[in-house]
Structure 1
Amino acid sequence: MNMGYTVSVVVMLSFLYAESATALQCYDCDSASNSKCADQFVASAFAAVNGCAQCVKQKGVANGVTVVIRRCGATVDGNNECVKRPAFDSEGTYCLCNTDLCNGAEVGRSLNSAIVILFLATFLRFL
Structure 2
Amino acid sequence: MTSTNKLLCTFFVLLSMVYKASSIQCYYCNSANNSACIDVKAFDDETRARIIPVVTCETAIPSPVAVDFFCRKIVQTIFHSHRDSEVRVTRGCGWVRHHKECYQANNQDHLETVCQCTSDYCNSAEAADPTSAAVLFIALATALYLYR
TM-score, with normalisation over the residues of structure 2?
Answer: 0.51
Give the secondary structure class of the aligned counterpart of 1:68: strand
Percent identity over the alignment? Answer: 34
Taking the TM superposition and a 5 Å limit, the aligned residue runs for 1:105-116 are 105-108=125-128
Let me know the Cα RMSD of the aligned residues. Answer: 3.1
1:51 and 2:57 matched: yes
Alignment partner, residue 65 of structure 1 = 86
Shift of 1:22: 2.2
- Work out which of the two has the higher radius of gyration on C-alpha atoms and give 1 or 2: 2
- Given that 1:79 and 1:97 are in contact with CA atoms closer than 8 Å, whether structure 2 keeps it comes out as no
For each residue in 1:51-102, what CA deviation from the matched residue of structure 2 results, as whole angstroms up to 9, or x when unmatched?
35111100112242111110111x1414771101146822210111110010
Moved over 3 A (4+): 39-44
Native 8 Å contact 1:61 1:88 kept in 2: no
Structure 1 unmatched ranges of 5 or more: 1-20, 110-118
- Number of aligned residue pairs: 91
Q: Which runs of 5+ in 2 are unaligned?
A: 1-20, 59-68, 130-139
Structure with more of its chain in strand, by fraction: 1
Report the Cα distance in structure 1 between the residues aligned to 2:118 and 2:103, rounded to whole angstroms: 15
